Amino acid sequence: MATINDNYLKLKAGYLFPEIARRVNTFVESNPEAKIIKLGIGDVTEPLPEACRTAMIKAVEDMGDRSTFKGYGPEQGYGWLREKIAAQDFQARGCDIDASEIFVSDGAKCDTGNILDIFGKNNKIAVTDPVYPVYVDTNVMAGHTGETNDKGEYNGLVYLPISADNNFIADIPTEKVDLIYLCFPNNPTGATATKAYLKAWVDYAKANDSIIFFDAAYEAFITDDSLPHSIYEIEGAKDCAIEFRSFSKNAGFTGTRCAFTVVPKQLTAKAADGSEVELWKLWNRRQSTKFNGVSYIVQRGAEAVYSDAGKAQIKALVDFYLENAKIICEQLKSAGFEVYGGINAPYIWLKTPHNLSSWDFFDKLLQTTHVVGTPGSGFGAAGEGYFRISAFNSRENVQEAMKRITAQFKA
């Protein structure tokens, strides 16, 4: 009989968001009249920007004419998209990133998991707690951890706790780790990182020969001009960081699928024989073998994000969700909740009232207000007693959800 990857048996029952969906479905089955408002998974609700739609329609037409038809594209993404990304997302901010260092993909979630393909089995890996669960689960699947302890933490990972006590900003570790996942603006807490803070991480990584995986999927939500959008705004980061970006949350591509990963050519890690190997070459090899690129049509849609019309439409989209976040923060505060995030990020992180556990609060919120959020404990042991509300929804739904929550919880 064939055997399985036993590491999968170490995973907790289900991925967080399917588990939430399962609980909501069970509730709806016995309460079919309930008007559920979902502020759980960070999935966008507003239509794709017109500039992107127009570009994709034109691209569909291109596919209907032999002279402009496209078959397999470059596995790394089309040059015209990579050039625009390099120029506008990086060079315009003073980051010396070349188009050849950009790898267009179908998602930052996929890439943060796939990147482990090019790293060894014995790296010491640090994650914050709470954390985006994909970073942890993909390491479990790859066999980089042991079993969980009674708190649900995997043996073998280094957890860096974040809480209100450290403003949801992890202390730089005192021990040596090889791979570090950072996400700013942060999912789930909505916390942001200053340049000085990222500089401390870059200094740490360079001193310890570590690699930082920097997830900047939410950079478009930064409104404070002093905050960095990319880790490459920090001197030295090209020697120690891989950055993940996405068109999901800025341009509404969660269903359309387009993202990119930046692997600087000078970035190296050690082979078993002690030699230093360029990570760019390995990632290029991995993508060329396991991935056939994002569709031409979708890449044309992503390219339109960088047009004047696209930029204006994306700003309007992001502003719309940020206004939702502001409404959520204000309303929750007025109802007596202790609230974090939601200013430079689409996520609001709150302390559960009366010391309820995260899942108990989830159930209570669902049953009494028919509003769905995400239990903080689903992001890690240190998320217990917290809860995440997403600002991705229509204004009408956000206002209605807040009306129900304030009516239910106002002291």
Q: Which is nearer to ligand MLT, 74 or 152 (CB)?
A: 152
Q: Is 145 in the site for ligand MLT (CB under 6 A)?
A: no
Q: How far is CA 32 from CA 99, 170, 236, in A?
A: 51, 43, 56
Q: At its nearest, how many Å lie between ligand MLT and the CB of residue 80?
A: 26
Q: Which stretch binds ligand MLT (CB under 6 A): 37-45, 149-157, 271-279, 289-297?
A: 37-45
Q: Is 186 in the site for ligand MLT (CB under 6 A)?
A: no
Distance between CA atoms of residues 103 and 306, nearest Å: 17
- Residue of 209, 224, 168, 217 lying closest to 343 (CA atoms): 224
Q: At its nearest, how many Å lie between ligand MLT and the CB of residue 203?
A: 29
User: Is residue 405 packed enough to be buried (19+ CB in 10 Å), middle (13-18) or exposed (0-12)?
Assistant: buried
Q: How far is CA 337 from the centre of its chain?
A: 25
- 42-61 residues near ligand MLT, rule: CB under 6 A: 42-43
Classify 159 as helix, strand or coil.
strand
Q: At its nearest, how many Å lie between ligand MLT and the CB of residue 363?
A: 19
- 71-90 residues near ligand MLT, rule: CB under 6 A: none
Q: At its nearest, how many Å lie between ligand MLT and the CB of residue 312?
A: 24
Residue by residue, DSSP assigns 232-280 as GGSTTGGGTEEEEEESHHHH--TTT--EEEE--TT-EEE-TTS-EEEHH
Per the DSSP assignment, residues forming a β-bridge with 350 are 339, 387
Non-local (6+) Cβ contacts of 145 within 8 A are 7, 10, 136, 139, 154, 155, 156, 157
- 202-261 residues near ligand MLT, rule: CB under 6 A: none
Q: At its nearest, how many Å lie between ligand MLT and the CB of residue 71?
A: 30
Q: Which stretch binds ligand MLT (CB under 6 A): 40-48, 142-150, 218-226, 333-341?
A: 40-48
Q: At its nearest, how many Å lie between ligand MLT and the CB of residue 43?
A: 6
CB–CB of 296/63 below 8 Å? Answer: yes
Q: Is 378 in the site for ligand MLT (CB under 6 A)?
A: no
Q: Is 109 in the site for ligand MLT (CB under 6 A)?
A: yes
Q: Is 41 in the site for ligand MLT (CB under 6 A)?
A: yes
The site for ligand MLT (CB under 6 A) is made up of 41-43, 109, 187
